[in-house]
C-alpha cells in the first residue's frame, strides 16, 4: 500500500473509531427516530451502517491484492511436521 493510501486508510479508521464515543447523545432520549427509536440507539444503528460503508471503502482502496495468489505450495505443509523441540 502506498504511503498516501495508508494515511487515508488510517485517518478513515481513526475517525470512525472516535465517532463511536458519541458523548453528545449520552443523556438524550429525543428525538425518537421513526417515532420509536431513541436517538442514542438510532445513532449506533447508523454507526453499524457506517462501519459497513467503511469496510466497503477499505475493500475498494486497500484490498491486499498480493495475497490473492499466494506462492504455490511453497514449504507446505509445515504445521503437522514436528519442528523439533527448539
Partner 1 sequence: MIPVIVVCCYLVIIAVIGSVAFRKTQANTEDFFLANRTVGSMVFFLSLFATNMTAFAILGSSGQAYRQGVGIYGLMASSSSLVIPLTIFFIGTKLWSLGKKFGHQTQVAFFRDRWECSSIGTVIFILSVVMLVPYMIISIMGGGRVLTDISGGRVVYPLGCAVVALVVTANVFFGGMRGTVWVNIFQTLLFLLFGAVAVGVISHSLEGGFGDYISKIAGNPKMRFLLTRERMPERYFWSYTFIPLSSIMFPHMAIMCFAARKVTAFKRTVVLYPLAIMAIWLPCIFLGVLGTQLEPGLKNPDGILLHLLSDHAPVWLAGILGAGIISAVMGSDTHQVLAVSTMFTKDVFAYYGGKDRYGEKGSVLFARGFILAVTIIAYLIALKTPESIFELAVRFAFTGFAAMAPVMIAALFWKRSTKYGALASTLWVAGWLLLTWYAHRISDGIAPKPGQPAVIIFSALGHLFERSTANVTVFGFLPVVPMVLGSAAVMVLFSLVTPPPSRATIEKYFPKESAEPRDRASAPGIAQPAQAPAP
The label of the residue with cell 485517518 reads 11
Q: To the nearest whole angstrom, how small is the minimum distance from the Cβ of residue 66 to partner 1?
A: 8
What distance, in Å, lies between the first and last C-alpha atoms of the chain? 35
Among residues 28, 25, 58, the alpha carbon closest in space to that of 44 is found at: 25
Contact map string, positions 57 to 86, toward partner 1, x by CB under 8 A: -xx---xx-xxx-xx-xxxxxxxx-xxxxx
Strand partners, 33: 37
The site for partner 1 (CB under 8 A) is made up of 13, 16-17, 20-23, 25-30, 32, 35-38, 40-41, 43-45, 47-49, 51-52, 54-56, 58-59, 63-64, 66-68, 70-71, 73-80, 82-86
Amino acid at each position: 500500500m502506498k504511503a498516501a493510501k495508508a494515511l487515508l486508510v488510517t485517518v478513515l479508521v481513526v475517525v470512525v473509531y472516535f465517532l463511536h464515543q458519541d458523548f453528545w447523545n449520552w443523556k438524550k432520549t429525543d428525538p425518537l427516530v421513526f417515532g420509536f427509536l431513541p436517538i442514542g440507539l438510532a445513532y449506533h444503528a447508523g454507526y453499524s451502517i457506517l462501519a459497513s460503508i467503511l469496510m466497503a471503502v477499505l475493500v475498494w482502496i486497500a484490498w491486499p491484492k498480493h495475497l490473492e495468489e499466494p506462492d504455490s505450495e511453497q514449504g507446505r505443509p509445515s504445521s503437522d511436521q514436528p519442528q523439533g523441540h527448539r
